[in-house]
Chain A
């Protein structure tokens, strides 16, 4: 067999080291980074009682010195760099994947595809997401192959050499289209509606009939990204006892370990997951991404393997926030007291379930707003589309429904000539109020927050919802 041309390990040598020292792959001359070892501990950290102190953070000093080691800052001897080939097509059947040319590239040590993953599905609830797509692509960010090479550049170049043959299918992009029963299933034979929730109390139609006025409003929110400053990063390495250590930006290492155990078919006691201080999560790093693939690459090559997402991958290959379509109908008295509220929510659930069930539930439960409503009907659907998978993002659907219910409240206030502050005070929860799910609420301070904010702002109610903050 023809021998591949040799490629210098770590093509960027660490400084011009003397000949003998070049054998080592750790810097022989570690830079002398100076920082004071004795620094006065700030007052608040030394005070008792500890609760209530404006204590500085344990990691604050390291951050300020630039000494916090994030995963991308770590280098292990012999470490390889991995990159993932992304589908680039929103919906397709994979007919074939040819990795021979990539594998033959100088500097490429291993290539794996979905077929190499023992159990190729995972997910926080529905296990509908593959580690690497092997038969079907459901969104353009789906990974179809993973390459480990001696440098990041070679790994990225090798992706171009991987030939994937697709049978391109028509993607479903509009969640309202996806909601219709006649639209072909994104994950056929499964239905497009993969989550449904209803919360109801009292008799909302009767409440509408008894209302002074009934208002309707429709609201939409967009897909956004977490944009943590630190991209996803993972390092995997094995020890001779057959234990794999995985360093990851994952925010849930217990779940991560369980997922790696399941996808690779190995016992949990053989897996160690370590998270360093993460450079921002906001919900986007709450499920595994490349961890099983990297563990496999590391096993195949016998070396540590690191993968960091590029910034574009952060957008199209990691989870995003659910866009919501929200329809509200509210019946009120002449004074603005809510008698009944009916809500329909449609969540664009992206290509995979991810955290959609939680988002659906939270959005539905919180959708009525912090208001006493005896008659309500809130129904929420989440549907598949061939867009980037939507998952956990700071607020789980509540920033979206809050935008809806607060805009709606203001529209009612304007129409009835009531100050927006007053209409909220009239309807807000109090200590012991019942939530839409009839939970008795404790430590309720909605009104206090309204009044405090209004006072701090200098809000002067002038009765018709058109007050001008400048005239305080």
Chain B
């Protein structure tokens, strides 16, 4: 067993896990943060995407031990007690999620993108979501919502709808 301490969503949390445990399993089973999902467990679908030290990673491909001492942001850390994150709000308003299973992964990829590139083009958004598989939505409304959220985060007024 290894003892792993991660700074997850701003809180220091520790767990004792078998050494082969992935970050995904530690988040889900040990820390009860079930937002990151298990879609394939081998890094193909992106449903497990979380942000480690500012970079989006497939948490099923990272050992929990490799995350020791690092900053991890999961979907549970996006909203605050006062407000939804602008990306969450945009996704809700634009109907960007259907079954919702790929949602946490997509939202984290979107957050990582906007943190690095506050004014992404559509090809750049498609590229950022390229590792997140979605079977329900066809990605269209996600791309629309990310653009809207980006505008809100830049403090720009909403685009005219008419």
In whole angstroms, how far apart are the Cα atoms of A37 and B28 in the complex? 24
Question: Smallest CB–CB gap between A194 and chain B, Å?
Answer: 30
User: Which stretch, B51-59, B83-91, B117-125, touches the partner chain A?
Assistant: B83-91
Contacts of A231 in B (CB 8 A): 38-39
Partner of A66, one of B3, B14, B26, B35: B35
Partner of A229, one of B16, B36, B39, B95: B39
Q: Which residue of A lies closest to B25 (CB)?
A: A12
Contacts of B136 in A (CB 8 A): 229, 280
Tell whether A15 pairs with B75 under 8 Å between CB atoms, given A70-B37, A231-B39, A308-B38. Answer: no
Question: Smallest CB–CB gap between A74 and chain B, Å?
Answer: 8
A66–B101 contact, CB under 8 A?
no
In whole angstroms, how far apart are the Cα atoms of A223 and B35 in the complex? 32
B75–A280 contact, CB under 8 A?
no
Contacts of A27 in B (CB 8 A): 32
Contact indicator per residue, chain A 1-29, by CB within 8 Å of chain B (1) or not (0): 00000000011111110000000000100
Q: Check if B127 is an interface residue, CB within 8 A of chain A.
A: no
User: Which stretch, A56-64, A320-328, A330-338, touches the partner chain B?
Assistant: A56-64
Partner of B31, one of A15, A39, A72: A15
Contacts of B79 in A (CB 8 A): 34-36, 65
Contacts of B11 in A (CB 8 A): 31-32
Q: Check if B99 is an interface residue, CB within 8 A of chain A.
A: yes
Partner of A60, one of B18, B25, B83, B95: B95
Tell whether A282 pairs with B135 under 8 Å between CB atoms, given A33-B76, A277-B99. Answer: yes
Question: Smallest CB–CB gap between A46 and chain B, Å?
Answer: 13
Contacts of B45 in A (CB 8 A): 229, 311
Q: Check if A30 is an interface residue, CB within 8 A of chain B.
A: yes
Q: Check if B80 is an interface residue, CB within 8 A of chain A.
A: yes
Question: Smallest CB–CB gap between B127 and chain A, Å?
Answer: 20
Q: Which residue of A lies closest to B46 (CB)?
A: A229
Tell whether A15 pairs with B92 under 8 Å between CB atoms, given A63-B97, A66-B103, A230-B37. Answer: no
Contact indicator per residue, chain B 87-114, by CB within 8 Å of chain A (1) or not (0): 0110111010111111110010000000
- List residues of A whose CB falls within 8 A of some B CB: 10-16, 27, 30-37, 39, 42, 54, 56-57, 59-70, 72-73, 75, 226-231, 277-280, 282, 308, 310-311
Given A32-B11, A64-B88; 18 other pairs, CB 8 A cutoff: A12-B18, A13-B16, A16-B3, A31-B31, A31-B32, A36-B79, A36-B81, A36-B82, A56-B95, A62-B100, A63-B103, A65-B88, A66-B34, A66-B74, A68-B103, A72-B34, A227-B133, A278-B99
- List residues of B whose CB falls within 8 A of some A CB: 3, 11, 13-18, 21, 25-26, 28-42, 44-45, 47, 74-76, 78-84, 88-89, 91-93, 95, 97-104, 107, 133-136
